[in-house]
Amino acid sequence: MKKNMGLIDKILRITVALVIVLLFFAGFIADTVAIVLLALAGIFVITSFISFCPLYAPFGIKTCKTKA
């Protein structure tokens, strides 16, 4: 797996994940919506740490800077 996520992409994903977790603990989201969003938040965090998004690969999307 080659890196395909840049720093800004990682920061945005972690921020969105934190917002979802905060909304859950504040009681704004619950039930099935909470489960789906918390799963998405987990995926965002994992992909941020490994710097690879599987959905970017088939489309050739790279948000990281390439070394010239």
Across the chain, which has 68 residues, the per-10-residue mean pLDDT values are 91 97 96 97 96 92 79
Q: List helix spans (H) across 1-68.
A: 7-26, 31-50
Q: What is the pTM of this model?
A: 0.86
Q: Is 31 left (phi over 0), alpha (psi -120 to 50) or beta?
A: left
